Amino acid sequence: MRTPLPCAAACFALLLNTATTFAAEPQPLKLDWAENYLTISGDHLPGEEIKIHYLEAYCRAGSTDADWVKHTRMKHKTVRLDDGQDDRFVKLQCEVGDGLVVVHEIRSTHDEVDFRILATNPTDRCSEAHWAQPCIRLEKFTGRNQETYLARSFVFLDGELSLMPTRNWATEARYTPGQVWAPEGVDRNDVNPRPLSDLVPSNGLIGCFSADDSMLFATAFEPYQELFQGVIVCLHADFRLGGLEPGETKSIRGKIYVLPNDVPALLKRYEQDFPEHQ
């Protein structure tokens, strides 16, 4: 027969067990923003940090075969609105050159970053902003360079994960290399001037695997203009604005997922967060 632990010893054992449980739980990903870069960091994040050019550009329509600097990219300025005291929250405001105002609220948990974006046109003329680019840099996460990270990256085609380069890889465009996938309903004249795939993605996810294959990264926005594999070890899910009429307001949602390497679990999370795509 076991002798019951004295009360003090039992309480100590309970506290020790509780502390161990809490210590094992992942800490929330940390967020910071400065000089147009959003930084996601955490001890459990492969490579320890992901940097995002947030935002790289607001873009005009008619961009697929147009000069990026002279036509497509619009002037904009981003300022931080929060006080920086909460490392799980960032609030930004962009003022686009044609008067469009876009507010971004960004929050993190231990395995995702949530984006809530509100675009408002306070002017008396239609905004020219049709889409925008968060440029996500993944060299540390993948442990690869520009020449080698492609084989670690994926989109979903015909309902299945497809590693890059996907079939029917396009190679001709105003600017090369890179690859663009556009969903149904987006005018093919209004996307990034990199090679445009003739394949339509099954969903809005684009992502990659970590250097040790233990985790995956993926991102999605709704509505989205395109998915894009770029030229600085980056991946994009570029969100759609579609131009705003005077006085009009539009909402956009986005996610970054940092999950164990479990593709069915990723798809389940995506389906829960973006049920309109099912």
In the predicted model, is pLDDT for residue 113 greater than 90? Answer: yes
Give per-residue pLDDT as tens, 154-181: 999 999 999 999 999 999 999 999 999 9
In the predicted model, is pLDDT for residue 10 greater than 80? Answer: no
Task: State the Cα–Cα distance between residues 146 and 203, nearest whole angstrom.
Answer: 25
**Residue ranges covered by each domain of the chain:** 26-277
Average confidence (pLDDT) over 172-197: 97
Task: State the Cα–Cα distance between residues 155 and 216, nearest whole angstrom.
Answer: 12
Average confidence (pLDDT) over 114-123: 98
User: Would the pTM of this model clear 0.85, i.e. be above it?
Assistant: yes
In the predicted model, is pLDDT for residue 225 greater than 60? Answer: yes
**Mean pLDDT of all residues belonging to the chain:** 93
In the predicted model, is pLDDT for residue 46 greater than 60? Answer: yes
Query: 26-277 — its CATH code?
Result: 2.70.98
Bridge partners of 93? 79, 103
pLDDT band with cut points at 50, 70 and 90 for residue 12: low
172, exposed or middle or buried, with CB in 10 Å at 0-12, 13-18, 19+? exposed
In the predicted model, is pLDDT for residue 18 greater than 60? Answer: no
pLDDT band with cut points at 50, 70 and 90 for residue 53: very high
Task: State the Cα–Cα distance between residues 228 and 215, nearest whole angstrom.
Answer: 21
Burial 47-63, CB ≥16 within 10 A → b, else e:
eebbbbbbbbbbbbbeb
Average confidence (pLDDT) over 30-39: 98
In the predicted model, is pLDDT for residue 277 greater than 90? Answer: no
pLDDT at 7: 53
Higher-confidence residue: 12 or 62? Answer: 62
In the predicted model, is pLDDT for residue 263 greater than 60? Answer: yes
In the predicted model, is pLDDT for residue 21 greater than 50? Answer: no
Average confidence (pLDDT) over 108-124: 98
10, exposed or middle or buried, with CB in 10 Å at 0-12, 13-18, 19+? exposed
pLDDT at 17: 54
In the predicted model, is pLDDT for residue 247 greater than 70? Answer: yes
Average confidence (pLDDT) over 258-273: 98
**Amino acid at the residue 27:** Q
In the predicted model, is pLDDT for residue 153 greater than 60? Answer: yes
Record the tokens describing residue 126, joined without a space: 């239609």
Task: State the Cα–Cα distance between residues 257 and 278, nearest whole angstrom.
Answer: 18
Among 14-18, 72-76, 98-102, 155-159, the minimum mean pLDDT is found in 14-18
pLDDT at 1: 47
Average confidence (pLDDT) over 209-235: 97
Sheet containing 153-157: order of strands: 76-80, 89-96, 101-108, 112-120, 249-260, 215-222, 206-209, 153-157, 160-163
Task: State the Cα–Cα distance between residues 6 and 189, nearest whole angstrom.
Answer: 76
In the predicted model, is pLDDT for residue 249 greater than 60? Answer: yes
Give the three-state DSSP class for 71: helix
pLDDT at 148: 97
pLDDT at 24: 61
**What's CA 211's distance to the chain center, in Å?**
19
CB-based contact 203:249 (threshold 8 Å):
no
